[in-house]
Structure formats: C-alpha cells, structure tokens
C-alpha cells in the first residue's frame, strides 16, 4: 500500500483558516481614509532638524498631543476656566455645545491623518474644551474688556507667549469648521465696534497678523469655507503675495543651488527688497544682481517650517502642485549653507536679526541653513526654476569669476585701486623706456 506525502486540500485550508480569519478581522478595524484629512504628524525627515519646532511646549490643542508629558499642567485648569467663560458668553448650555461636537464627531476624526484612539466621550471632551479655549484666547486678545484682572494667561505670570507659539504648529490644530460653528454663538456678545470680525478666520488673522507679511486679509480668504486650520490660513496668506507670473513653476534641471558665498565669488551682487513681496526673489543676468525680499530671522521662519511640513503631507501631485512654500524653503536652503552665507544676508540687510535670537552668528544660521532639510519640492513644477538655471549659468562662466577676483583683491579699496593703477602706469612707462632704449640713435 502506497502512502502519499501530499496533504489534502481540505487539510491545508483547515490549517491556515484561523490565521486568515484573524487577519480578516483586522480589516474591519481599519480607520476610514477620507479626503477631509488635513492635520498630520510631521515626517521624521523634517522633524529631525529640531523636534521643538513642531511639538507643543506648553499646551496641547486637539487630540494628537493631549496628555503629553512636559506640557504646562496649570493650563489644563485654565482651559476649564475659559470653557466656563465661553458658555457664559454664548448663553448656550454645555449640553448643546456637546451636541454640536457630537454631531460632527465622524467628520472631525477624519481630519486627522492617524486613528484617534480616544473613546467618543473623551474625544468630544477634548475637542470642546480645546475649541472653546482657542476661541476665548482669540477674543480676549482682541478685546481687552473680556480679560479678567486675575487672568493668568494675559496677566502675571504671562503665559500668552508660550500658548501663541504652540498655536501655529501643524500637529496642534483643530479643524477650522468646528471653531466656526462654535464661534457663531459668540457673535451677539461682541462689541459694536467689531464689525470687521465676521468669522473665526478674521479673528485668527488679527491674532497672528504681526507675524504675517500683510496688513489686511484678502476678502477671498476671509470668506473661504475651505480653509482647513490656522496653518492652512498662513499658507494662503503667504501665497497672496506671490508674484503673478503665469509661467512660474517649471522643471528644476539641477538641484545644485549655489550658495551666497559661491555667488559672491563670481561677482553676484545682493540687494534687499521690500517685505511686501515676500517671495519675489529676482536675478538680473545683465548686471548680476540677486534681489531678495527682507525677512526676519525669528518666529516667521518657524511658521514657514510648519507651513512647509503641511505642504509636504497634504499636497504632492507632481502634475499640478507647485508647492510654493516648499520651493521657497528648498531655494533658501540652497542659498544659505553656512554661517558666512547668513553674515551676507545680515550685511545686506536682507535678514533682520530680531531680539529673540542671540547675537552669535552660528545661532542665527540655524533657522535658515536647515530650512530645506527633508523637504521634497515638486521638481517638475519648481517655482524658482528659472532663477536657479540663471544662477548656475552665471557661475559656470569663468569671466565672471576672474572679474570678481580682480575687483575683490585689487580694487576693493580706493588705495588699492590707486596702487594698481600706479603699478600699471609704471609698467607702461618702463615698457616705453625699454622700447626707446632699443632704438638705435641716428
């Protein structure tokens, strides 16, 4: 009688069925993927530069950092106080506010790129407390009469600065639509002089505008229903001041962007432009002048980093997305590679050193010489593609380097120029004398 080493098909099926059923069960626990997703963890390739630039240090807003160690525990109590103020201001019961959040729970969860593990009640509690807190901070900052004399955020010990810094972080956001829903109940309590505060977007702009390169919010942004959160608002405000160049955004032929030091060595001149056109960097091939709008070395750079992180997570269609902020970060990171490059920016008054930074040049360079680390712009639609190509072409011509070397080494001061001219004249006279001495007398 022959024995078969082959296992019957039914035996194979029975052997692996338990594992297959277990894996199928995992499919049912997957979180839904939604196009509403707009709040992300910063990718490690960007975060590794400095985790503090993307992680709240004082207060959590939303579920991603809720309960994290290292945050200011006193602010949890202040959140409760501000929720109480919010309920009194709106004259809406706590139960009704809870209902507002509960009805939007599924949509709110879909806004976060990772599954939120909190139960329904705990999630609603986090969103309501943090949303009320955010609205109250914005209102109290705008209207002094709303601030109690014993307020610990706006009075001693002053906590507003720490909160303010945490509110522009991409990982510390609430969807703007829920803030708008809750803000509707506040409008009747606003002073009669607040006619320009028509939305949470308007109120948010008032809170952050001294960090932004505009004095007035564009009406299209002010009334937009598609702004996702504060970081998205910053992105839209920055892009308002992009130069209107319909052809801008072509293929970047070389990722090698010459640094400011390298450009200076080939004779490129640097010029500061007004901050009004923040991204209007220009290069004139006729006179070799690179014009860069002024910018502060400080908090504005940190905001740009978070906007870039948002772009990197939210927009990456190589066919359509120019990724303006990522293009800017990548380009500036190419220009500024060393502390010498930062010194040139300061020397030509392009970079404005603000008080929050120490005077040491190596510390000044930190916000800029790593601004492009981990950033992947859309190389097929790179906003500064033409400038990059022109700069590389300019650097490749030896004549520019020879001319710059002559000017920097021999004509850098009036006395040096006089010495060179005198030497040339002496050389000519010596040559003439030699020629005449060789002519036979007649």
Q: Is 393 exposed, middle or buried (0-12, 13-18, 19+ CB in 10 A)?
A: exposed
Tokens of 89: 């201001």
DSSP string, 321-348: ---HHHHHHHHHHHH--SHHHHHHHHHT
Report cis status (omega within 30 of 0) of the bond before 157: yes
Residue 358: which residues within 8 A CB-CB, separation 6 or more?
Answer: 364
Q: Is 183 exposed, middle or buried (0-12, 13-18, 19+ CB in 10 A)?
A: buried
Supply the pTM of this predicted model.
Answer: 0.83
Q: Where are the domains of the chain?
A: 44-240, 260-396, 400-435
Q: List the chain pLDDT tens, one digit each, 442 residues.
A: 455 555 566 666 678 888 999 999 988 877 777 788 999 999 999 999 899 999 999 999 999 999 999 999 999 999 999 999 999 999 999 999 999 999 999 999 999 999 999 999 999 999 999 999 999 999 999 999 999 999 999 988 889 999 999 999 999 999 999 999 999 999 888 887 777 788 999 999 999 988 887 777 877 787 778 899 999 999 998 887 676 555 567 889 888 999 999 999 899 999 998 877 778 899 999 999 999 998 877 788 889 999 999 999 998 666 677 889 999 999 999 999 988 998 899 899 998 765 444 444 444 445 677 889 999 999 989 999 999 999 999 998 876 665 555 555 544 556 555 665 666 666 776 777 677 677 775 5
């Amino acid at each position: 009688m022959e024995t078969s080493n082959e296992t019957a098909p039914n035996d194979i099926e029975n052997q692996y069925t338990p594992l297959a059923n277990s894996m199928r069960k995992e499919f049912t626990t997957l979180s839904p993927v939604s196009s509403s997703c707009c709040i992300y963890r910063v990718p490690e390739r960007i975060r590794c530069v400095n985790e503090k630039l993307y992680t709240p240090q004082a207060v959590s807003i939303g579920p991603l950092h809720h309960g994290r160690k290292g945050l200011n525990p006193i602010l949890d109590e202040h959140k409760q106080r501000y929720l109480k103020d919010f309920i009194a201001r709106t004259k809406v019961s706590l139960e009704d506010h809870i209902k507002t959040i509960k009805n939007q729970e599924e949509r709110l969860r879909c806004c976060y790129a990772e599954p939120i593990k909190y139960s329904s009640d705990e999630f609603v509690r986090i969103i309501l407390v943090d949303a009320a807190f955010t609205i109250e901070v914005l209102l109290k900052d705008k209207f002094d009469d709303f601030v109690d004399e014993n307020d610990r955020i706006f009075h001693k010990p002053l906590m507003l600065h720490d909160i303010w810094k945490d509110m522009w972080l991409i990982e510390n956001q609430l969807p703007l639509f829920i803030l708008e829903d809750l803000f509707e109940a506040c409008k009747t309590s606003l002073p009669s002089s607040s006619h320009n505060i028509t939305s949470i977007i308007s109120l948010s702009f008032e809170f952050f505008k001294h960090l932004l390169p505009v004095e007035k919010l564009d009406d299209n942004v002010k009334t937009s229903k598609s702004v996702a959160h504060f970081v998205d608002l910053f992105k839209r405000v920055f892009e308002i001041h992009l130069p209107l160049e319909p052809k801008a955004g072509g293929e970047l032929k070389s990722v090698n962007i010459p640094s400011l030091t390298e450009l200076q060595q080939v004779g490129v001149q640097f010029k500061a432009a007004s901050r009004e056109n923040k991204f209007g960097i220009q290069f004139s091939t006729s006179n070799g002048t690179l014009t860069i709008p002024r910018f502060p070395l400080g908090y504005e750079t940190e905001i740009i980093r978070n906007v870039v992180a948002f772009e990197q997570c939210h927009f990456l269609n190589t066919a359509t997305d120019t990724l303006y902020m990522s293009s800017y970060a990548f380009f500036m990171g190419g220009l500024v590679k060393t502390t010498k490059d930062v010194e040139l920016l300061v020397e030509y008054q392009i970079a404005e050193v603000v008080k929050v930074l120490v005077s040491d040049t190596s510390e000044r360079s930190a916000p800029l010489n790593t601004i492009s680390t981990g950033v992947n712009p859309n190389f097929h639609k790179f906003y500064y593609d033409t400038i990059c190509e022109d700069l590389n072409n300019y650097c490749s011509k030896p004549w520019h380097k020879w001319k710059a070397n002559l000017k920097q080494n021999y004509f850098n001061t009036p006395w040096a120029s006089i010495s060179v001219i005198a030497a040339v004249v002496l050389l000519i006279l010596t040559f003439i004398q030699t020629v005449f001495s060789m002519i036979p007398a007649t």
